[in-house]
Amino acid sequence: MKRAKWLFASVVVAVAVLIVGMNPTGAQAKGANRTVTFSQLTNKNPHRLAAIRQAARQQILKQKKAKGSRVKAVYQVKLPKNMAKKATLTPAGLRMNLLANSFKVKQITIPYAQLKGKILNKYLPKANRTHTVKTNKMVALTFDDGPDPTLTPRLLKTLKKYHVHATFFEVGQSVSRYPKISRAVLAGGNELGNHSWNHPDFDSIGTSKTFDQITRTNRAIYQATGTLPQYVRPPYGNITAAEGRAIEQPIIRWSVDSRDWAYLNTQKDINEIMRDTRGGDIVLMHDIHAQSVAAVPTIIKRLKAKGYHLVTVSQLLNSQALPGLQYFGAHDYRRAGK
């Protein structure tokens, strides 16, 4: 009888240990690891796998505390494209083994926060999972062609005053001239995106030169801020499918074009945006025109009066934008080149 009780108690303890080692939220308990394939992590979605590669590049640079001069080299590191390859879920993040590379990094662990919206929710801790958001009262303001040494700081003061965050798509050659302003953009809680090195039409320069434009700007932004930009906005909105595949970053377009560059008229900018903007829209403006920056306070106040929440692109898209796809609004996306 005593032996039966002892066996029963042993089974209970073993089951308890097993339960403790399993985390029902999907996160890995301390000391517990789980091997998974990229097919499982992404549900066989190549765009999700490209997002993992994007996060891996950032992690390699961070782990090596690499200088900006090494950004181009990180795109030469061979990262997984085969869905059958495996990685490990650990308490700290997704651990990946790397092939021999110039960084001499054999293994990286990508924090789960960097994989939010990129891998399936069930493989993420609760704190890093995406949840359904209502976008009918959300609008993302975006500003192209900066940073400008005078106007961008003025705009940042306006955003801070009204407790609003926006997304800035910056030109690499300007970032290299005014890195402190790019840092200030991020310090204010805003987002930075890549808007090419010197604003060419990608359709006219081809895939190779387009890739160089993007990587050169990524280098400038990384040099200025210590982080790679997540998004790309192609000048004039032009990008081919091949360029989208090569870039391996989500492409952000717009659903409301203020055409502020054409008007250079503050009241006209206000009228155009207030007439056309609806919930879920991405609004295109520029922070290199004084008239546009002057219009922003009134635009913010009027949109707020209508009940709109002004958010970053990441917030509007619920952190689920993926490489190879282009996004026009909260619920409007398609493959690059279409």
Q: Which are the catalytic amino acids?
A: 144, 286
φ, ψ at 76 (rounded to 5°) = -95, -5
How far apart are the C-alpha atoms of 260 and 293, rounded to whole Å? 10
The first and second tokens of residue 51, run together, are 């997002």
* Cβ atoms 277, 139 nearer than 8 A: yes
34-37 and 86-89 beta bridge pairing: antiparallel
Comparing CA positions, the residue from 229, 217, 216, 151 lying closest to residue 190 is: 229
State how far the Cα of 258 lies from the Cα of 295, in Å rounded to an integer. 11
Coil vs helix vs strand at 256: strand
Name the residue among 93, 87, 151 with its Cα closest to residue 125: 93
Tokens read off for 134: 């209502």
User: If DSSP codes are grouped into helix, strand and coil, which group holds residue 163?
Assistant: coil
Concatenating the DSSP letter of every residue in 68-119 gives GGGHHHHTTS-----TT-EEEE-SSSEEEE--S-TT---EEEE-GGGGTTTS
Residue 237 CA to residue 328 CA, distance in Å, equals 10
- What is the H or E stretch that residue 240 is in? none
CA–CA separation, 266 vs 119, rounded Å?
A: 43
On the CB side of 65, CA atoms within 13 Å amount to 0
Is 268 strand, coil or helix? helix
Question: What does the alpha-carbon distance between residue 62 and residue 202 come to, in Å, rounded to a whole number?
Answer: 30
Among candidate residues 256, 257, 267, 275, the one with its CA nearest the CA of residue 292: 267
